[in-house]
Structure 1
Amino acid sequence: MGFEIGDSRRSKELGRGLNSEKVVDSFVSMIADNVKAMECEKIVGAGYLAPYLIPEIAKIAKVDYVVPERSEAVCAIGAAVSKVSLMLHARYDTEKGIAIYDGILEKCPFRTGSIPKDEDLIEAAKRKVVEIAKNFGEEDVGEIKVLDFSSFTVVKGGMKRGVIADITLQIEPGIRYGRAKGVL
């Protein structure tokens, strides 16, 4: 190849007695097993060795792959899995007994005419976010951030009739941290 990466003298010293082909095959198998476990459809490779390793990993894992042009500039082998990113706007109207999630009308999780606390309204909306995320296969949603919250008590004829609350929540985009089974 004509390229040198890292400390070649030290690598040769440490590599004496190792069957490099066996080490590479073991690495490729371990990564392929983890790709299978994640049930993804496609992997993206980057780094100097990606054009050589990624096709083999994809073949064993039975998935599609992409090695972007100039990906060797990354100089690393690794994997990242994006987590579910979700924003939800919830409106609760306990006077009418309705809940609206991103424009979709549902039955309110609170008794009609009740005056729930702000914390209870937020928790109900968070439960809905978790429910939606789980429907997309997400097991651990992590932190759910409240972006906006407002509520007021509905008063008619001098009597409290319910609460109307608007809540916007988000599971922020990002990378899922942790390790897949078998990864060192």
Structure 2
Amino acid sequence: MSRDRDPFERALEAIRIKLRSGEGLQGRALAINLLARELGVSQTPVREALAWLAGEGLVVRGHAGYVGRTFDGASLAELYRLNLAHVLAALSADLRAATPGLAGQGTRPPWPLTDSADPNATFDVLVAQAADRTLLASLRRTREPLSPFVAAEAPLIGDQEATMEALRLTYPDPAGLRRAARAFYRRRVHAASMLFSATLERLQI
């Protein structure tokens, strides 16, 4: 029998999954005692996990305990803009590396980059290819809060298939990938208020 994972790590991952699904969204309480009972651990690792997530900006600590983040259309649009900035920064580094006379040019892996049909996963890989750990970590911090809203993208925007085709046709050209990234994220910026409302309706908040 394998050894049980560290209670803190189990609690941290379990709460992350809950946040990705929308639990706690819009300032709803994340009760330590209820989470501990549900996860089968003591309250201490749950409390430590919530403190860790508060440090990442994924939850907020208030007078009565921890609650999820509160969003609106404007703040959601800003998160999409930040995601775009990370992708463009990664691809700008790629352009510099591809410039004759500059060091760092490498060979890209073949297409497809992931088994996922979600462009978000492909953009994550493109950022990872920049081999900049700080940039990748920063992307993940801005990507994670978007998780509850991603489910609304397909029915409201419906551009996943077209975006994947655009990425396939332009890969590995950084300039073409930048154009595809701008178009993908700008559609989400413009639709942010609708994505926000649809997500709250789906979660019955």
Higher helix share: 2
Is the radius of gyration larger for structure 1 or structure 2?
Answer: 1
Provide TM-score, normalisation by structure 2.
Answer: 0.26
Higher strand share: 1
